[in-house]
A = this chain, B = another copy of it.
Amino acid sequence: MPRPISQSRTDLVDNALVAFWNIGFHAISMDDLVRETGVSRGSIYSVFKGKRELFHACLDRYQEAAVTPKFGQVEAEGARLSDIKQFLEDGIASQEALDGPMPGCLVVNTLAQLDPADEDTKRYLEFHTNRLTKGFRAVFERENALTGALSDQEVAALAEFTTTSVLGLWSNSRKIADGDEMRRYVDMLMSLIRAKLGVECP
């Protein structure tokens, strides 16, 4: 006794995104996804070729639904170091607000179980890390223009470093679930960045 009621593609992807994020691509089953999204097998396969394509749609959706709303302020023209700090603290706060354990970052989680031969998926992950590095670098260049402490090369290296460090933050978040330890990490990271840039601590 089927019961229709249409569900938009966006809702399907949004719910699948949460499931992939929490459980992981390999560990989650299509039955899980049917249950979590409330969309039937038939409908899912009518929109996506399979689990893999649905996952890639979720990686895309992750950028606009999870990354852009928080990282957008870092990418905005005129963003400062305080915007980076805000971005990190917002991320921690939003995961603390969840009732369950922290899922970390979908990209970091995917990275750890990435098949090296899977170039398609790798591209999504590279896009994400490039996006972070680019955003951080623009801010660092802006700050460095005031102090002139670093060369362009050093600024770029600092941005790469910051991206990689943030990956570690979200990697660790799946285990600690302690917002305070994560905030200590953010404070230390900001302190180190400020020292390197020669910026006074506010």
Question: Residues of A at under 8 Å CB distance from B?
Answer: 24, 26-27, 100-101, 104, 108-116, 122, 125-126, 129, 157-158, 160-161, 163-169, 171-172, 174-175, 181, 184-185, 187-189, 191-192, 195-196
Q: What is the predominant secondary structure among interface residues of chain A facing chain B?
A: helix
Task: For A171, give its contact among B27, B108, B187, B196 (CB under 8 Å).
Answer: B108
Count of this chain's copies in the oligomeric assembly: 2
Contact B111–A174 (Cβ < 8 Å)? yes
- For the complex, give the distance between the alpha carbons of A112 and B113 in Å: 8
Q: Count chain B CB atoms within 10 A of each CB in A126, A158, A165 and give the residue with the most.
A: A165
Residues of B near A122 (CB, < 8 A) are 175
Q: Cα distance A166–B122 when bound, in Å?
A: 21
Tell me whether A164 and B175 are in contact (CB under 8 A): no
